[in-house]
Chain A
Amino acid sequence: MRIPIGGGEGSGAAAEPPRAPSPPPDLLTVAARVAVGIVALAVESAAQILRRVSGSTDRSSSNDATVALLTGAALGFTIEAVRTGLSLAALGLRTAGPPTTFVIDTFFDAPKRASQDMVGRWNETWREDRPEARAAASAVAVETTRQAVDLILDQLDLTQIVLDHVDLDRIISSVDMDAVIGRLDLDSIVQKVDIDKVAEGIDLDAVAERLDVERVVARLDLAKLSLEVIERIDLPEIIRSSTGTVASEGVRVIRMQTFGADRAITGLVSRVFGRRPPEDPELPSGSDGADG
């Protein structure tokens, strides 16, 4: 329950005569109002807190109303007092102003002008040094800011933050990739690429190693191919004749050794008869005419 400070507020507001438009309040009046307002807010809050802590209910509303009435009266009195004080002070100033000004102008003119000169010189100095000072200051500010930002960023995982809070899909879907690609001059880009140099850099051996030759071979119909080859070369006949040709390794050795002996004898006989050793003995066919 909130009890506004100032008792009988509802009726008081109705009874209050319309205020004449007052001149704009001076600085002191505003300050006094603010101070009194702050005090009123503090007192009101304190009263409310105390009520809650003490657990009091509507039973004590009559006491509260009394306290609020008294407090409001005190505050209003304070404001009235400040206003009155201010009016008196203004009256005093208006009364004592001209002579005081005269005295001050008379006796303090020289120091005032001297101080004005000094201030002017200082201002001039400031104008001269302003560029350097501003530059130095901005440099300091930039450096400080940079370090501060670094410090902050060190503590933050920006990527994670972006991933957590930014809907990248939506951003990407909002980008017109066709337009982006349309703006690229791909032909000129490709022309800038030195394909020969790229090709030189490619390790074709490594590429060849990565080729799955077995898979290529697997795609061939080797069975059909083999059957065709076997059919064309008559493999069964070859097997029959080869097994009959050389019964065993021993037979082969005997044949080769006797052939060597034959050649030796033939060569010997040729030398005995003074003939040229028959490098290529004549053939037994009738075409060589050896039968006669």
Chain B
Amino acid sequence: MGESVPAILTVPAEARGFQGRRAGIVSRVFANTIDFAILLVMLGALYFGWSAVLFLRRGSNFRFPTVSYAGAYVAGAIVFTLYFALTWWGTGRTYGDQVLGLRVVNRKGQRLGFWHSLLRAVLCVLFPLLLFWAIVNNRSVQDLVVRTSVIYDWESTPRRGIDAQATRSG
């Protein structure tokens, strides 16, 4: 494809004006809500999967395993952290981000590296309420600490780095 040919935007016309801008709190909360629902589904799947393993091993002595709040919280935290880290590292977006059209990028507007996304995931899981700092300036405390941003990005493929952003900053 020649460089003289402009790339055709696949984003709907009404959404093109704010592509690449930092997302507001409502979008991020909605995205996290969806991700939390997915977490519950994953935890349930883990529980029933573990139960199936126990059923196969114990047979008639099988009983559904009891899970303490602490154990559930720890398991949930681990699953959530891994979920966040892997999705941010892989595609830059969780499923909630995908639905809301968001993407997590570093200060250069690029996808995060693995450790970068893992650090951000740990901070987000440990201090979820710090997300609401985004009300003030569309950046959570975690964003400020690890120098990331959550932007509107409706395109399916990751944005092409800082150049795309810089063109909009003019």
Residues of A within 8 A of B (CB): 232-234, 238, 240-246, 251-252, 254-256, 258-259, 261-263, 265-266, 269, 273, 280-288, 290-291
- Name 24 interchain pairs, CB-CB below 8 A, sorted by A: A232-B1, A233-B5, A233-B8, A240-B156, A241-B155, A241-B157, A244-B156, A245-B155, A252-B15, A254-B100, A256-B14, A258-B26, A258-B27, A259-B27, A259-B152, A262-B138, A265-B25, A281-B138, A283-B21, A283-B22, A284-B148, A284-B151, A285-B166, A287-B166
Q: Are A284 and B107 in contact (CB under 8 A)?
A: yes
CA distance A215 to B64 in the complex (A): 77
**B99 contacts the other chain (CB 8 A):** yes
Q: Are A261 and B24 in contact (CB under 8 A)?
A: yes
Q: Are B109 and A284 in contact (CB under 8 A)?
A: yes
CA distance A290 to B109 in the complex (A): 13
The 3 closest A-B pairs by CB, nearest first: A262-B24, A284-B149, A244-B156
Chain B residues 7-43 with CB under 8 Å of chain A are 8, 10-12, 14-15, 18, 20-27, 30
- Among A232, A262, A290, the most chain B Cβ lie within 10 Å of the Cβ of A262
| Per-residue contact bits, chain B 126-169, to A (CB 8 Å; 1 contact, 0 not) | 00000000011011000010011111101111000010011011
CA distance A243 to B100 in the complex (A): 15
CA distance A238 to B57 in the complex (A): 51
CA distance A243 to B154 in the complex (A): 11
**B101 contacts the other chain (CB 8 A):** yes
Quick one: which of B2, B136, B157, B165 contacts A284, CB cutoff 8 A? B165
Q: Are A281 and B21 in contact (CB under 8 A)?
A: yes
The distance from the CB of A101 to the nearest CB of chain B, in whole angstroms, is 137
Q: Are A246 and B27 in contact (CB under 8 A)?
A: no
CA distance A254 to B154 in the complex (A): 12
Residue numbers in B under 8 Å from A242 (CB-CB): 10
Q: Are A254 and B25 in contact (CB under 8 A)?
A: no
CA distance A242 to B168 in the complex (A): 21
Q: Are A262 and B23 in contact (CB under 8 A)?
A: yes
Residue numbers in B under 8 Å from A243 (CB-CB): 156
CA distance A290 to B139 in the complex (A): 10
Q: Are B168 and A262 in contact (CB under 8 A)?
A: no
Residue numbers in A under 8 Å from B20 (CB-CB): 283-284
Q: Are A291 and B168 in contact (CB under 8 A)?
A: no
The distance from the CB of A262 to the nearest CB of chain B, in whole angstroms, is 2
CA distance A184 to B113 in the complex (A): 92
CA distance A288 to B147 in the complex (A): 13
- Among A252, A280, A285, the most chain B Cβ lie within 10 Å of the Cβ of A285
Q: Are B109 and A255 in contact (CB under 8 A)?
A: no
The distance from the CB of B103 to the nearest CB of chain A, in whole angstroms, is 10
Further 6 A-B residue pairs, CB within 8 A, beyond A255-B99, A265-B26: A234-B1, A262-B26, A273-B136, A282-B22, A284-B20, A291-B107
CA distance A232 to B4 in the complex (A): 10
The distance from the CB of A280 to the nearest CB of chain B, in whole angstroms, is 8
Residue numbers in B under 8 Å from A287 (CB-CB): 162, 165-166, 169
Residue numbers in B under 8 Å from A269 (CB-CB): 135-136
The distance from the CB of B144 to the nearest CB of chain A, in whole angstroms, is 8
Q: Are A255 and B162 in contact (CB under 8 A)?
A: no
CA distance A233 to B18 in the complex (A): 24
The distance from the CB of B56 to the nearest CB of chain A, in whole angstroms, is 38
Q: A254-B99, A265-B26, A291-B107 are in contact. Are A232 and B2 (CB under 8 A)?
A: yes
